[in-house]
Chain A
């Protein structure tokens, strides 16, 4: 490895040790004027400079670049859907909060214009009618289950078993297949 450091201040790598050059170097590079009481310091500094000047540049494994590219691709694929979901959640939350605040601000104004009692009664009536309609729709299956409890129990048991089977199937199928 070429070394500008040696060229600039002192010996080339492999040159004989010159204590005076290193004393001068020490003075040039020291901004604080601190001096060591070690009389071998110039020689030791020379050793350090020589060792560092001849130190090799190490490299990574041969497939390093491919792994970096692969890691970037993986992060791009996993990052975008999450970022999208996060953005949607964020916007949703902000919209909800803004709506609530605005509703609170405008409630008084709207209350003057609208008859809140009539609206409440209409909502209760609509809820009641929806409830009775749903009750009618589910009365026949409910009666059936009541008469045949074994079928109901088996259905309840089969639901988790179905999801377990689905999970096993996913693992068995090769990656990339849509399921």
Chain B
């Protein structure tokens, strides 16, 4: 589970001594997973960039606490998820419910799929998924994101969230169930047909 490359180890060692440029290399290496987690948690690209930036700054200032036996990526994701949960808690206190509002796409968003048509489809599907995720509680949302986007094991998620594997399994099933119930009954057969056509 622990997977830190030679470059990463070197950058981490240099960053601990105060080399900001070396930390910049770490940011470049992990900006996508960190930003993606923040975006999936918060549902807003501008806010996600701010959160990702803050998470990296927290990581930089707490780099001396990083345990090299653990995966650096998992450590970063843990900081990011905690920061996003803090933001969501503050938001819940200050905002009225905006859950049903359509979020505008951010021009900076990029995807792995090339071409304008593929990008448009990806963007549309991404928004559909994001709308569904926004309907989940933050605990359920985080488990779903960590499991599906980052392929983290139950044990890794449980370690990150300081809970048990069985609690994570239960939370994940309930989250999937809640997501499934958001799918319109008439829409389901069309979705099945469309998804079965997604042959790699």
Give residues in A with beta carbon < 8 Å to B. Answer: 1-5, 12-17, 26, 29-32, 34, 36, 38, 40-41, 43-62, 64-69, 71-73, 75-76
Contact = CB atoms under 8 A, between A and B. Distances in A.
Contact of B144 (A32, A43, A50, A52): A52
Contacts of A53: 148
B188 interface: yes
Contacts of A52: 129, 144, 148-149
B83 interface: no
Contacts of A48: 132, 176, 179-180, 183
B198 A14 contact: yes
Contacts of B36: 57-59
Nearest to B29: A65
Interface residues of B, number: 60
Interface stretch (B53-61, B70-78, B89-97): B53-61
Given A58-B35, A59-B36, 11 more contacts: A1-B112, A2-B151, A3-B148, A31-B169, A47-B191, A51-B191, A57-B149, A59-B32, A59-B110, A66-B24, A68-B57
B134 interface: no
Contact of B126 (A2, A29, A36, A55): A55
Contact of B112 (A15, A38, A45, A57): A57
Contacts of A43: 188, 192
A107 B170 CA distance: 69
Given A47-B188, A47-B195, A64-B35, A72 B20 contact: yes
A55 B181 contact: no
Q: Which 9 A-B pairs have the closest CB atoms?
A: A44-B180, A61-B108, A31-B170, A29-B173, A52-B148, A56-B111, A65-B27, A60-B35, A69-B24
B91 to A, nearest CB: 20
